[in-house]
Each structure stands twice: as structure tokens, then as C-alpha cells.
Amino acid sequence: MAELHKILANLKDALASERSNSHDQVAPVTIPVSPLAQRTELVSEFARELEAVGGNFLGVLTPAEVTTRIVTLAGVIGAKTVALGQGIASDMDAIGEALERADFRIVRAVPVADIERAAMRARVADADLGIAEADFAIASTGTLAVVSNPNRPGSLTLLPPASLVIIQIERVMTNLAAMLAHMGPAGVAANRMTLITGPSRTADIEKRIVLGVHGPKSLHVLVVWPQND
């Protein structure tokens, strides 16, 4: 009987030792991720999700490259008239001047009196391409969030048949919850925001997907990454 107790004790010790070693082997290791890598991953996810819903990702550009890329896009899509408002960080005046030098007609969306608002909206609607700068982008869904104000009316992203949206790299958020947390309750309540996920589409006509019925038929997005970041 004493020998049996000894064997059981040895087995118990061996099992306890194995469990301890097993725990040591699977201990989690925390690997630090640099802000640069986090931003790169967010942009990659955003681009992937944007193109999955029919958007066109134009790439990650430095501020110096943005104007040339926009002029090139306007030519590629055959635009003759381009509408744009004020930016957040981008110099929209410089972009407009470059487009004018390239012989595009420019419609500048500026604050107007109520009596002139319908005429301004009609001019924006007649443009072939609308350019706006987004307040945020949501990586998990490829969505753009654009706050409307007199300097950046919602018509820029809703009425022209082609839409180009600029987004700064630091404004790409992980998901909708992160964006709303960044804005805060007061910011959400005080602003009128448009959420854009891909080109306008509907299946109302014979249950077939048709683009551009209720908004832009094409959506182009470029991300601006300052060289000193």
C-alpha cells in the first residue's frame, strides 16, 4: 500500500510540473507596434474595403504630389468642369489654380445668401467632378465621413457624377466607434455629416445594381501622408 501511495504521489508531482511548464510555454509576448506600422495597416485596410465596395483608391501621396494626381485624374475621366470647396488641411485654392492652368473650368463652392443657394447647387450639379476633403475615413468599412458647412457643402460629394475625396492619414480611424469617440457627443450633435461607402448604387430598377442614380457614379479617394511623419 505504501508503494502505491508513492507511485500516485510521483504521478501527481509530474502532472503538476507539466502544467507549470505548459503555462510557461504559452505565456503571451507583447510586441510593440510603431505608430508608422499602425497607420500603414489602417490605410491598407481602408483601401481594401473601399475597393470592395466599388471605390477607386488612388494611393498614398505626399502633399506635393496631390495636385498633379488630381489634374491627371480629371483628364483621365474626361472632366471639363470641376467643383471644389475649401479643404481641412489641403490647399484647395492651389488645386483649383492648377486645374485652371490645365484648362478645366472651375466652380468654387463658397458661402452664398439663401436666395443664391439654389443657383450654386445647380452649378455644382453641372460639374463633371466634385472634389472635397473628408473629415474622417473608417478603415473597417472603407467609409468616408464628410461634415457639411458653407465652405464645403454636401452637394460636392452628392451631385457631380464623379467624386474625388481627399483624406489626411491621421484622420483614418479604425471603425465607426473610434470616429464617434474622437468627435465626442458635442461634435456629433453639432454637425451634419455624410457617410459615403462606395459610389451611389440602387437595386430599385428590376433588382439590378445600377450606379449613379442617386449620387456619384464613381468615387476616387487619395490619402495624404506628410513627408515629415
**Secondary structure (H, E, C), 66-130:** HHHHHHHHHHHCCCCEEEECCCCCCCHHHHHHHHHHCCCEEEECCCCCHHHHHHHHHHHHHCCEE
pTM: 0.80
Write the burial class of residue 147 (CB in 10 Å: 0-12 exposed, 13-18 middle, 19+ buried).
middle
Is 7 within a domain? no
135 lies in which domain range?
Answer: 57-224
Query: How many domains is the chain built from?
Result: 1
CB 156 within 8 A of CB 133: no
Residue 157 Cα to chain centre, angstroms: 13
Is 25 within a domain? no
Is 123 within a domain? yes
Question: pLDDT at position 201, please?
Answer: 56
Question: pLDDT at position 110, please?
Answer: 85
Looking up residue 188, the CATH number of its domain turns out to be 3.40.50.10420
Question: pLDDT at position 11, please?
Answer: 47
Reported for 114-122, long-range contacts at CB under 8 A and 24+ positions apart, including other chains, are 120/153, 120/155, 121/153, 121/155, 121/159
Residue 42 Cα to chain centre, angstroms: 10
Is 13 within a domain? no
Residue 154 grid coordinates: 454636401
Write the burial class of residue 35 (CB in 10 Å: 0-12 exposed, 13-18 middle, 19+ buried).
exposed
CB 116 within 8 A of CB 67: no
For the chain of 229 residues, list the mean pLDDT of each consecutive stretch of 10: 51 55 52 73 96 95 95 97 94 96 94 86 95 96 93 91 96 94 88 86 54 73 85
Rounded to an integer, what distance in angstroms lies between the CA atom of residue 129 and that of residue 61? Answer: 20
Distances (CA, A) of 61 to 29, 64, 90, 155: 35, 8, 12, 26
The CA R_g of the chain, rounded to the nearest whole Å, is 26
Is 15 within a domain? no
Alpha helices in the chain (DSSP H): 2-25, 35-52, 63-76, 92-101, 114-126, 155-158, 176-190
